[in-house]
Chain A
Amino acid sequence: MKIHEYQAKALLKKYGVPVPNGQVAFSVEEATAVAKQLGVGDKKVVVKAQIHAGGRGKGGGVKLAGTLDQAIAHSKAILGMTLITHQTGPQGQLVKRLLIEDGCNIQHEYYFGMVLDRETSRVTIMASTEGGMDIEEVAAKTPEKILKAQIHPATGVGDYQINQLFFDLGLPKSAAKDFRNVVLGCYNAYVQEDASLFEINPLVLTKEGGLLALDGKINFDDNAGFRHPEWAELRDMDEEEPTEIQAAKFELSYVKLDGNIGCLVNGAGLAMSTMDIIKHHGGEPANFLDVGGSASQEAVTEGFKIILSDPHVKGILVNIFGGIMKCDVIAAAVIAAAKQIQMTVPLVVRLEGTNVDLGKSMLNDSGLAIVSADDLNDAAQKIVKAIGA
């Protein structure tokens, strides 16, 4: 789960990480009030679009204001704009919230992040003197410029690790206390809040010699949701695909894509592979959909509804490897669902596994225009052909 920058900063602040003063605004009036309260005029404030996607600055979603009039003008311009960045896709994302915060005098921009290192299964700090840039690019071109420290879960962050990073980053003495607060605050927040990613890019060294988290990105580990009821309030449904929210209610894992062949599959790996083989045969998958290991008729019906709610879908491929889930049960669910929602697009079904013959004959006898496929390859070829791609 992702949260907004202003929410991430509030959380970081709670754990002692230095962040600029600021507040969220949902309207130009609120933005005006925050700007006044911060004392715009005597100092500069920053008006920042709050959407989950990165690259907001380049897209025109971040503006500096020296006067109240400028702050109001920027707020009017950004609030309600459709911000297009490299992460939003071409359709962009509507800006409904702003963060108004103090500007600062930047001496240098650093990168500071925290992720799980899968190889060692440890939370790992990543820091770099090359802040403000795309860290993936830094990692690819100059990997030696990314400093790492792996944290043992039993001991937490060692002072020696903070020292190592501090000296390797070449930070001045004036920033020592702030840096310690950044490292410990971030680690404590990461662990206690069940994060899966932290990114402060940039972490700035101010001309006054202190550190400030100028941006904040936090992702949470969805698996830990059961112990974080407070996440419900942090969640912004406007940032999520409505169809994906609906799918989650039925414990379906759905990801919308740009193609026109809908897929309904059991198992994540098989679902990905089904998309792959559609593409291999010249088609474009419209979605990833994993109905899980024991999908009920209700869930399968919902899956069809969600796939068909995408107007681009011209055909559907169902690929079920019935292990524990029996093929006749899935066939019954497909037939019932197809009848209930009056399927009008071509439907290719590939069944394999337990009770496969019974399942196939049920589909054949259903009177529905279902094309039966022999294997995964055959299924992909048939659906691509059926939609005339």
Chain B
Amino acid sequence: MSILVGKDTRLVVQGITGSAGSFHTRQCMAFGTNVVAGVTPGKGGQLFEEKVPIFHTVRDAVKETGANASMIFVPPKFAADAILEAADSGVSLVVVITEGIPILDMVKVKPVLDAKGVRMIGPNCPGIITPGEKCKIGIMPAQIHKPGRIGVISRSGTLTYEAVFQLTQLGIGQSTCIGIGGDPVIGTQFIDALALFEADPNTDGVIMIGEIGGNAEVKAAQFIKEKMTKPVAAFIAGKAAPPGRRMGHAGAIISGGNDTADAKIKILEAANIRVASTPSHMGVAMKEQLLERGLLR
């Protein structure tokens, strides 16, 4: 009842002994994620929380524990190398939480992952969670989620929480929620996640949260119009953002004419996608469509 992660996920955490890495690994474990290994070069042989074995390298961790997904908390300077290491070790999913990785590092890393068929989520993202299977890989607060049948995809962290919270308040649960990240080079795009949700028998509809900058939402609109049967509700952040100024995320900057919030909203609406008028209406925009289609009583 989910995409990408679930009860079969066996997680290795790269950077497990750092302050953010250790804190969030504990949170993931508390939620129920099957954390099988940690990696910190030089700390191999130790135990994390007295139960998770730590290895010097990801290859060792995968060999010994059968880990099939990695969560990366390694600092920006070393993050690209950590991603390549994960890809080289045989895991099929790499979730990169690290914020501030040089863009050109990711330009080099991306084709390597693509060639190996390794899926990356992020970087600079909150991660991915499948509430119904107690699997969380990331930094999102687990308690706002509710198992259910709506997928959530977003370029932003706290705005994802806002959408999830609204759904949960409306009594609507989530199948899987993915923060795809706010950087210009990311592993999983909107269209990749939309295709997975469309094919997932346990997802009824999707909330897609975009923002200014780039044309990922435009591509998504085209994909939704041509390929999706499930309802999609959208929101685009940054209507009030001025052009030429980076709004926090490296990717959130209006540089051309078609990457403003208004332009994106127009294109989404032209593709018959319901766009929430304010960030407070993301949940409602989904609920309305579920009711109309008889997917919610």
Contacts and interface: CB of A to CB of B under 8 A. Distances in A.
B139 A293 contact: yes
Interface in B222-259: 235, 237-242, 244-252, 256-257
Given A121-B107, A194-B102, A276-B239, A270 B278 contact: no
B103 A221 contact: yes
A272 B211 contact: yes
B141 A353 contact: yes
B219 interface: yes
B162 A121 contact: no
A267 B106 CA distance: 22
B165 interface: yes
A136 interface: yes
Contact of B237 (A224, A257, A269, A280): A269
Contact of B247 (A140, A223, A255): A255
Contact of B76 (A223, A271, A353): A223
A191 B104 contact: yes
Nearest to A283: B240
B161 interface: yes
Contacts of A118: 184-185, 214-216, 251
Given A223-B101, A324-B139, A354-B143, A285 B244 contact: no
B100 A267 contact: no
A257 B242 contact: yes
Given A223-B102, A293-B139, A323-B141, A275 B240 contact: yes
Nearest to B235: A273
B76 A352 contact: no
A288 B248 contact: yes
A324 B141 contact: yes
A222 interface: yes
B247 A271 contact: yes
B155 interface: yes
B279 A277 contact: yes
A273 B237 contact: yes
B140 interface: yes
Given A121-B110, A268-B247, A276 B104 contact: no
Contacts of A255: 242, 245-247
Interface residues of B, number: 64
A354 B247 contact: no
A375 B165 CA distance: 11
Contacts of A152: 111
Contacts of B184: 116, 118
A114 B21 CA distance: 36
A268 B210 CA distance: 12
B108 interface: yes
Given A116-B184, A121-B106, A272-B211, A323 B162 contact: no
B144 interface: yes
Interface in A214-231: 221-224, 226-227
A23 interface: no
Contact of B280 (A140, A222, A227, A377): A377
Interface string B146-164: 0000000011111111100
B157 A293 contact: yes
B72 interface: no
A51 to B, nearest CB: 14
The CB with the most chain A CB atoms within 10 A, among B102, B244, B249, is that of B102
Contacts of A196: 103
The CB with the most chain A CB atoms within 10 A, among B23, B27, B238, B279, is that of B279
Given A221-B102, A324-B139, A272 B185 contact: no
Nearest to A276: B239
A279 interface: yes
A222 B183 CA distance: 12
Interface in A135-172: 136, 139-140, 152-154
Given A136-B256, A288-B247, A272 B110 contact: no
A278 B158 contact: no
Interface in A192-226: 194, 196, 221-224, 226
Contact of A119 (B215, B235, B242): B215
A323 B103 contact: no
A138 to B, nearest CB: 11
A122 interface: yes
Interface in A343-363: 352-354
B209 interface: yes
A226 B103 contact: no
Given A271-B247, A352-B165, 6 more contacts: A118-B184, A196-B103, A221-B103, A223-B103, A269-B156, A269-B252
Interface of B: 23-24, 27, 76-77, 100-108, 110-111, 139-141, 143-144, 154-162, 165, 182, 184-185, 209, 211-212, 214-216, 219, 235, 237-242, 244-252, 256-257, 261, 277-280
27 contacts: A118-B214, A118-B215, A136-B256, A153-B111, A221-B103, A222-B250, A269-B157, A269-B158, A269-B248, A270-B158, A270-B162, A272-B159, A272-B238, A272-B252, A273-B237, A274-B279, A275-B241, A276-B239, A276-B278, A276-B279, A288-B241, A288-B247, A290-B248, A321-B162, A353-B161, A354-B141, A376-B280
